[in-house]
Amino acid sequence: MEEIAAHVKAGKPVMILDRKSAICIPAEVITGELINFMMKNCDEIRLALPWGKILSLGLNRFRFQNGNLIPIDPKLDKISAEDRAGFIRDLVSGKIREIQYPGRIFVEETKEMGVLERPGMAEACVDLARMAGFRPSAVYAPLMTAEGGVASEEYALKFAEKNNIPVFRIKDMIEFRIRSEKIVERVVEATLPTKFYGIFKAVGYKTPLGEIVALVRGDVSEGNVLVRIHSECLTGDVFHSLRCDCGDQLENALKMIDREDKGVAIYMRGHEGRGIGLINKLMAYKLQEDGIDTVDANIELGFPPDLRSYGVAAQILMDLGVKNIRLLTNNPLKIEELRKYGFDVVREPIEIEPCDVNLPYLKAKKDKMGHMICFND
């Protein structure tokens, strides 16, 4: 990774491989020539920025599209490749020009802690920019074939060799950072007897998301371990709100761990409202009362549909010695992220019978976010 970082420090692009491949470079050194190269060989051009930077630049005043993307451009009648490159350099350095919306530069929200918080392509590109001494921002574009199809790994490697572009993988960045960094700290362990779910070992962690507790039962370093990564939901978990199924999911998960006498439940503080916070979640509720679904309500408030990530939970599971996971979830994103951190993951469904109040919420999560939820007729 040091050699890759030295390459981009010299202002040269690299290729990143995941399920897809992309050409990337720190945003501060993007050029018109490279923008032109990307437009000829790649799909859409993405500008990866941490959420805090998106907020400080006021870019969230524009609507997110296709998940966590904001399409913008410089406000010009005719836009050249150099215009786009100069616009990007000025934007990340704080010299904000007039912005046109929608445009053909797709600003992508990334996590502040990079691949240790979310193992995404955008995060890996931004981590690389940091390693090379640049601001945490990067431009990348998914590679396409000459016929306009998604590039296979074989095509990408041949393309990289032909164009003298070094290659790295997301797992390389994850492994590099995990060797040198740790973002969670185990602080305390205590016995926690519960009214309905038996006795757990409560393990307290300090993390960038705040104080997080993992409830542990049995020896979780061996075998296939039942795991629930539960997003904080005050309204559902404490007040038993009917707007969601969160409280019922938590209760069912703890009962399942109790029955097996082995497992881990991680309570993810900072995940309230899919990461937007309690007050914003209540504002989203108000919008839902006016007929907007749960996904579009977050977008209307200036957020992507889901700000959560599971890298902190992954590091807690690593610290606990968990290797093979039976994950209690309906969310395919959790499964995908944990696998990228090296866990062997199989899904255990945790579905709750819907009621009239939460049925629209659950349908929106299934239809718009891909959650694996079945409904009886």
Q: What CATH number does residue 86 fall under? A: 3.90.870.10
Of the three residues 127, 159, 179, the one that is the final residue of a domain is: 179
116 and 204 share one domain: no
Residue with tokens 């046109």: 100
Burial class of residue 18 (count of CB atoms within 10 Å of its CB; 0-12, 13-18, 19+) = middle
DSSP 8-state secondary structure symbol assigned to residue 106:
E
166 and 190 share one domain: no
Q: Note whether residue 73 is domain-resident.
A: yes
Q: Note whether residue 72 is domain-resident.
A: yes
For the chain, what is the domain count?
2
How do strand 99-110 and strand 45-50 relate by DSSP bridges?
parallel
List the structure tokens of 115.
């691949």
Of the three residues 126, 159, 179, the one that is the final residue of a domain is: 179
Distance CA 278, CA 273 (A): 6
Q: Which of 308, 339, 344, 356 is catalytic?
A: 308
82 and 209 share one domain: no
Range of weakest confidence among 30-44, 77-91, 170-184, 230-244: 170-184
Distance CA 315, CA 207 (A): 10
Which structural domain, as residue segments, surrounds residue 253? 185-271+308-369
Closest of 159, 121, 172, 152 to residue 3, by C-alpha: 172
Range of weakest confidence among 121-135, 252-266, 290-304, 353-367: 353-367
120 and 191 share one domain: no
The distance of Cα 247 from the centroid of its chain, to the nearest Å, equals: 23
Q: What percent of the chain has pLDDT over 90?
A: 85
Query: Residue range 53-70: average pLDDT?
Result: 92
Task: State the pLDDT at residue 376.
Answer: 59
240 and 224 share one domain: yes
Q: Note whether residue 359 is domain-resident.
A: yes
Q: Which of 306, 319, 344, 356 is catalytic?
A: 306
Instruction: Please confirm, yes or no, whether 308 is among the known catalytic residues.
Output: yes
129 and 235 share one domain: no
Q: Note whether residue 324 is domain-resident.
A: yes
75 and 193 share one domain: no
**DSSP-derived secondary structure for 22-60:** EEEEEGGG--HHHHHHHHHHBS-EEEEEEHHHHHHTTGG
Task: State the pLDDT at residue 351.
Answer: 82
196-209 pLDDT, tens digit per residue, is: 999 999 999 999 88
Closest of 152, 147, 291, 320 to residue 220, by C-alpha: 320
Instruction: Please confirm, yes or no, whether 245 is among the known catalytic residues.
Output: no
Confidence of residue 2 (pLDDT cuts 50, 70, 90): confident
160 and 134 share one domain: yes
Distance CA 141, CA 46 (A): 6
- Is residue 354 reached through a cis peptide bond, with omega within 30 degrees of 0 on the bond before it? no
Residue with tokens 């995060």: 123
Q: Note whether residue 171 is domain-resident.
A: yes
Contact call for residues 313 and 205 (beta carbons, < 8 A)? no
Of the three residues 155, 179, 203, the one that is the final residue of a domain is: 179
Q: What is the CATH number of the domain that holds 209?
A: 3.40.50.10990
Task: Say yes or no to pLDDT of 241 above 60.
Answer: yes
Q: Note whether residue 295 is domain-resident.
A: no
Task: Say yes or no to pLDDT of 377 above 60.
Answer: no
Q: Note whether residue 377 is domain-resident.
A: no
pTM, to two decimals: 0.88
45 and 126 share one domain: yes
47 and 105 share one domain: yes
Task: State the pLDDT at residue 93.
Answer: 92
Confidence of residue 233 (pLDDT cuts 50, 70, 90): very high
171 and 317 share one domain: no
Closest of 166, 163, 168 to residue 33, by C-alpha: 163
Rg (CA), the chain: 22
Query: Residue range 64-93: average pLDDT?
Result: 94
Confidence of residue 375 (pLDDT cuts 50, 70, 90): low
Q: Note whether residue 75 is domain-resident.
A: yes
Burial class of residue 3 (count of CB atoms within 10 Å of its CB; 0-12, 13-18, 19+) = exposed
150 and 201 share one domain: no
